[in-house]
Amino acid sequence: MIDPQPNCTDIFEQGLMPVDQALKKILSATPQLADYQIINIEHAKGRTLAESITAPFNVPQHNNSAVDGYAFHAIDIPTEGITKLTVIDSAYAGKANLTQINSGQCIRIMTGAIIPKDLDVVAMQEHVECYGTIISVDKRHKQGQNIRLAGEDIRQNETILPAGKFITPADIGLIACLGFAEIKVRRKLKIAIASTGNEVISIGANHSKEKIYDSNRYILYSALDRPDIEIINLGILEDNAETLLKQFKQSSLYADIIISSGGVSVGDADYTRTALKQSGTVDFWKIAIKPGRPLAFGSIGKSLFFGLPGNPVAVMVTFYQFVLPAIEQMLGIKNKVIAPLIKAKSEENIAKKPGRTEVVRGIIKQDNEGNCTVKTTGKQGSGILRSMSLANAFIILEHDRSTVKAGETVTVQTFSGLF
Ligand code: AMP
Ligand code: MG
């Protein structure tokens, strides 16, 4: 049984906002980027299409051979015994063969070569007997076999990729086979990140008893380090309303999203609250989630603002549960499952209070039959970043759930897809 490490937030509290309600509010306040940029397809992986792609021609353009072998007329396939056919020519990929081929004749054909007019069967070379320029075929050959039909992959005028498609290497292959060198993608999202706290110092600064190195900005930096995002690093901001106000206002002139960490819990929220009251519309929420209960969300000028908690694990949990879905919505990414939810059997009891979502860090395993089991990474304090580093998944214990008994099924969100 995991020690739940009691703390003051464990006292049952009324009026906490359920996770799904918070996410709904965030997404309904998140606009979609309208701007686009034209880029070479070589650099399009991980970007989002701003405009659908329509095929200017069929792919393949012509019926062609799927194998190396011999092409002939289906009427020459015998019902019994064998038929001998004379090989009169060859067809190679990249060069059309215009020879007239009659019944009783065939051509040697290579993979990808256009099937000459009227021929409607290709035999794999391994499936025919060959004696110099004569081959013998039998009844096992079938009309249409080993022929790739014109347009069987892509039809002319078909929309093959919709606007909003998150571009993968396969998509780039499709776009390339249609001959497009450049495409319209949504412009990069500009995201400003800041840490707050007088105790927080940058790597390289003098370490002393009262100071801690900044983990959060590096976590956020690496989580945002992807082709469709431009990161603006605001550094560490001191706990001072004026400084915060100045920085956030300045950033809102060019950032689509501003993300800060720390300074949103009751003890120190006054700085951010004072600052944010003057610079925009930001609400301070207490979300029914552990870890990550305090969260500030709203807008500063044209920017969306997320004030994440200070503890690094809470930063990661709130980032992946609330900020990433907003980022993907702003980029207009459609139909992409960020990280699928899967079911696994818990290997142990996990203490859980109903009335809030608990995001436990876990290690998921799959046996040879494909069954998944999961265990926790041990101590789950929101300041214990090793619980994230040891984990390969979030165990998501739903709002109404109470303590999980070993053997019960739980919902798991694997990190592959998230990270
Ligand atoms: P706060 O909400 O600002 O009171 O922060 C909560 C806890 O998280 C405190 O123990 C902070 O020292 C810690 N913390 C805040 N910011 C960071 C950071 N950037 N890196 C690591 N720990 C932090
Ligand atoms: Mg602080």
Segments making up each domain of the chain, as ranges: 19-34+188-330, 37-59+152-186, 64-148, 341-414
Give backbone dihedrals phi and psi of 241, rounded to 5 degrees, phi first: -55, -40
- The CATH code that applies to domain 64-148 is 2.170.190.11
Whether the per-residue pLDDT at 340 is higher than 90: the answer is no
Kindly report, residue by residue over 303-323, the tens digit of the pLDDT. 999 999 999 999 999 999 999
Q: Which of 311, 313, 317 to mutate to test the pocket of ligand 1 (most atoms within 8 A of CB)?
A: 311
CA 195 to centroid of ligand 2, rounded, Å: 9
Which runs of consecutive H residues, i.e. helices, occur in 331-392? 386-389
CA 239 to centroid of ligand 2, rounded, Å: 7
Q: What percent of the chain has pLDDT over 70?
A: 96
What's this model's pTM, rounded to 2 decimal places?
0.90
How many residues are there in the chain?
A: 419
> Nearest CA to 256 among 297, 299, 223, 217?
299
Q: Which of the four pLDDT bands, split at 50, 70 and 90, describes residue 15? A: confident
Mean pLDDT of all residues belonging to the chain: 93
- Ligand 1 residue neighbourhood (C-beta within 6 Å): 195, 197, 199-200, 212, 214-216, 261-265, 267-268, 309-312
CATH 3.90.105.10 is the classification of domain 37-59+152-186? yes
CA angle 182, 185, 189 (to 5 degrees): 140
CA 315 to centroid of ligand 1, rounded, Å: 9
Both tokens assigned to 193: 């990140």
CA-314 nearest atom, ligand 1? 8
Cα atoms in the 13 Å half-sphere on the side-chain side of 205: 14
CB atoms within 10 A of CB 364: 20
Kindly report, residue by residue over 277-289, the tens digit of the pLDDT. 788 899 989 999 9
- The CATH code that applies to domain 341-414 is 2.40.340.10
CATH topology of domain 19-34+188-330: Molybdenum Cofactor Biosythetic Enzyme; Chain A (3.40.980)
The per-residue pLDDT for 112 is 97
> Nearest CA to 282 among 272, 292, 290?
272
Check residues 86 and 96 and name the one with the higher pLDDT. 86
